[in-house]
A and B are shown apart, each in its own frame.
Chain A
């Protein structure tokens, strides 16, 4: 779905990630992990076409991302930044309806049945159907986070890129969100999420892209990506990794080491 080919990312002259190559495959949930400031968010933004790479190319469905118009790109890729704004005077449904903007020419102001279907489905999947007419500002931060995810789902893009989608969620809602993303991916779509919690990444992601020291240290299934040596190289602290009987890999930061 998205092919990242030998990409370097920079702010001005300062290159902070180089030689990044990996592919996001259909049906897959990919977690991007790494220490603060390594460039996880910028990599995600680059995959969304919002940060042009200093080097290399990003290919979406066989076409260079740069060649796509903003509207065509938004129909292909939904991107959600980490923190959404507080909005006054709008209902949950109205916020989620914004996800239909890429399909609306500027002269069409109202929604069509296709828009209504997509918005209804997104509200259902995020368990927000009962809150559709509530004012957005009256929601809890966890509910608001689910509204943003619903907006991305309403966009009906085949690729979802989410920056820390579980940041304001309690454990149950975090699990449900990642399960929902897995279900989304299972329909032949793909999702890449930036996560801080290595155990969430290990439990739900098909593969983990571990960034550290200005490079992609490994992009592989959790058992191979969550490697003690690599994690120490990335985070600069000792992280013990244990394999559970059910095959899951669990990581514990060891403050005494």
Chain B
């Protein structure tokens, strides 16, 4: 997909528009659900943290943390996707390439079989995601750097291995809460997530977001190829480690609270590039905002479509998002 070239003022205007849409998405996300809330109620509650009224309580205890987690998951996965696509110069790469999500899924499946309590699952998922990504990076290590080909091979292979283990657990486990729990995790969901999960996932995600933004100039140089980036004084090995490390941190923070939410990390970088061009200094912030908006909106839709049932977030994103994206991509090409 060809990305456009934009003037700085137009890029700034696009970022401002995205920021406004983000606030709007948060408000809509907080208002939608089994009990809908009007915008005034949301605005009032936002100004009175944990206020006395029942509405304030519901919003602060349930809705606000949930929409913020959705924003965090969207921003983190999109940034991780953009970082890896930039480093590997491959638009088909998604953040799950590091094996983080497959490792987390496998660990969650095993944890559920072992009967671990639900509140522990995000921590289990996070540790497994980071461990798997570290292992994949170690396998891809060559000399002092990381080989792109080895990273893809190691990530894809380990992901296949873990997916096999998860399927095995699903086949062997009797139909029970365990297999349903695994399936729910694989489908991606933010149900039941609150401030506790948000606070520590946000801590890791913010470190990842900061590192991602600091890597923007290096990412721009890497577009020219590793050799040319090196000739421009970029420490390419260090940049590769920084990119893989922050992508792993962002992905782990996201999957630990949301399960498998596919599509976002692959597609949002393409959308961001179309909006502001491929200069990472503009593209990364646009990516974070667009990803956050997309997941907040999708989560709201997952609650609003067939209440009181919540549709799996990852499944919904794939079902609605992929056809929309294909239409945009191929319609544009045909035009």
Partners in one complex: yes
Task: Indicate which residue in A84, A85, A91, A106 contacts B5 across the interface (CB closer than 8 Å).
Answer: A91
- Is B44 on the interface with A (CB-CB < 8 A)? no
In the complex, identify which listed stretch (A72-80, A198-206, A248-256) lies at the interface while the others stay far away.
A72-80
Give B227's nearest chain A residue, CB to CB. A81
B residues 178-218 touching A (CB-CB < 8 Å) = 214, 216-218
Task: Indicate which residue in B2, B214, B224, B227 contacts A88 across the interface (CB closer than 8 Å).
Answer: B2
B221 and A80: CB pair below 8 A? no
B3 and A81: CB pair below 8 A? no
Q: Provide the bound-state CA to CA distance between A84 and B225, in Å.
A: 8
B232 and A98: CB pair below 8 A? yes
Instruction: Identify whether the interface residues of A are mostly helix, strand, loop, or mixed.
Output: mixed
- Is A101 on the interface with B (CB-CB < 8 A)? yes
Instruction: Identify whether the interface residues of B are mostly helix, strand, loop, or mixed.
Output: loop
Q: Provide the bound-state CA to CA distance between A80 and B234, in Å.
A: 14
Task: Indicate which residue in B7, B216, B278 contacts A89 across the interface (CB closer than 8 Å).
Answer: B278
A residues 154-183 touching B (CB-CB < 8 Å) = 155
Write out, one digit per residue, whether chain A residues 86-126 have a CB within 8 A of any chain B CB (1) or not (0): 01111100110011011010110100000000000000000
- Is B310 on the interface with A (CB-CB < 8 A)? no
B235 and A90: CB pair below 8 A? no
- Is A142 on the interface with B (CB-CB < 8 A)? no
- Is B277 on the interface with A (CB-CB < 8 A)? yes
Q: Which of A70, A79, A85, A137 has the most CB of B within 10 A?
A: A70
Query: In angstroms, how far is the closest chain B Cβ from the Cβ of A51?
Result: 10
Q: Provide the bound-state CA to CA distance between A69 and B233, in Å.
A: 8
Task: Indicate which residue in A89, A91, A101 contacts B233 across the interface (CB closer than 8 Å).
Answer: A101
A106 and B217: CB pair below 8 A? yes
Determine the chain B residues whose CB is within 8 A of the CB of A71 once the complex forms.
Answer: 233
Determine the chain B residues whose CB is within 8 A of the CB of A48 once the complex forms.
Answer: 231
A90 and B231: CB pair below 8 A? no
Q: Range of interface residues on chain A?
A: 35 or more
Q: Provide the bound-state CA to CA distance between A77 and B277, in Å.
A: 30
Determine the chain B residues whose CB is within 8 A of the CB of A99 once the complex forms.
Answer: 232
A74 and B277: CB pair below 8 A? no
B217 and A70: CB pair below 8 A? no
Determine the chain A residues whose CB is within 8 A of the CB of B223 once the complex forms.
Answer: 85, 87, 90
In the complex with contacts A73-B233, A74-B231, A85-B223, A109-B89 CB distance below 8 A: no
- Is A50 on the interface with B (CB-CB < 8 A)? yes
A109 and B235: CB pair below 8 A? no
Task: Indicate which residue in A74, A89, A155 contacts B273 across the interface (CB closer than 8 Å).
Answer: A89
In the complex with contacts A74-B233, A91-B5, A135-B5, A98-B278 CB distance below 8 A: no
Query: In angstroms, how far is the closest chain B Cβ from the Cβ of A148?
Result: 8
Q: Interface of B with A (CB < 8 Å)?
A: 2-5, 7, 89, 214, 216-218, 220-221, 223-225, 227-228, 230-235, 273, 277-279, 281
Can you list 23 contacts pairing A with B, beta carbon distance less than 8 Å?
Answer: A50-B227, A69-B233, A72-B233, A75-B233, A77-B231, A79-B228, A81-B225, A81-B227, A84-B224, A85-B89, A89-B2, A89-B4, A89-B5, A89-B273, A89-B279, A90-B223, A90-B277, A91-B5, A99-B232, A101-B233, A106-B214, A106-B218, A109-B281
Given contacts A73-B233, A106-B218, 17 further A-B contacts (CB under 8 A): A45-B227, A50-B230, A80-B228, A80-B231, A81-B227, A85-B224, A85-B225, A87-B224, A89-B4, A89-B277, A90-B223, A90-B278, A101-B221, A101-B232, A106-B214, A133-B5, A155-B232
